[in-house]
Amino acid sequence: MKRSQWIIGGDGASYDIGYGGLDHVIGSGEDVNIFVIDTEVYSNTGGQASKATPIGAIAQFAANGKRVGKKDLGLMQATYGNVYVAQVAMGADQSQCLKAFREAEAWNGPSLVIAYAPCINHGLKAKGGMGKSQAEEAKAVECGYWHLWRYNPALAEEGKTPFQLDSKEPQWDKFQDFLEGEVRFLSLKKAAPEAAQELYDACKAAAQRRYQTYVRKTQEDWSK
């Protein structure tokens, strides 16, 4: 039986300070599986902003809200063509999450699975706090803050479109309610009241652009 081996890291090590190492491993073409736990902040060193932190979120080194968009690590690695990539959120779709891990294991080459993971630094305002992190993941996907998708090179080899968008059409009207349900965004109104709404709108616009990019990827013709 094939042994299951995974390299596990956070977004700081994967998107930011350790990105060069991650890219080097993926670029090797070896049959390795990588699991990234994306908390969108340096969780274990005090809550500093990373390249995974979205526009508008407050973190250390971004006290008035981050002004630069979140890095799309998954789509970047998919450009290699021989890398299996998936974005998952277990609380939003357990079936899609399990399918991604199975496909990553089955692919004979580099695999990268990125999972959305609420963190104590997010400041969940829902009753139950971090005990409701799975429900928070579901809300993130429902409003379009986080998207579920899989890029499977095995499909490309069959002449099929390798990019599969698993998220439903987001309910964009719920986007700002989601942001204001977390202290990292809600505290913008106190830290930078004159810029808060502008940053909320910029965060939503970035999420919409990303979603439309994914929709276009599903429409590519790989039959030729």
Q: What confidence tens digit (pLDDT) does each residue in 126-156 have?
A: 777 889 899 999 999 999 999 999 999 999 9
DSSP 155-213: HHHTTS--EEE-SPPP-GGGHHHHHTTBHHHHTHHHH-TTTHHHHHHHHHHHHHHHHHH
Q: Give the whole-number percent of the chain exceeding pLDDT 70.
A: 100
The whole-number pLDDT of residue 55 equals 92
Provide the 3-class DSSP secondary structure of residue 115. strand
- Residue 51 near residue 70 (C-beta atoms within 8 A): yes
Cα dist from 29 to 12, 67, 130, 181, 215, whole Å: 23, 35, 37, 41, 27
Predicted confidence at residue 64, as pLDDT, reads 81
Query: pLDDT of 44-102, one tens digit each?
Result: 777 888 899 999 998 887 878 888 989 999 999 999 999 999 999 999 999 999 999 99
Residue of 43 and 32 predicted with greater confidence: 32
Determine which helix (DSSP H) or strand (DSSP E) holds 78, and give its type and residue range. helix 73-78
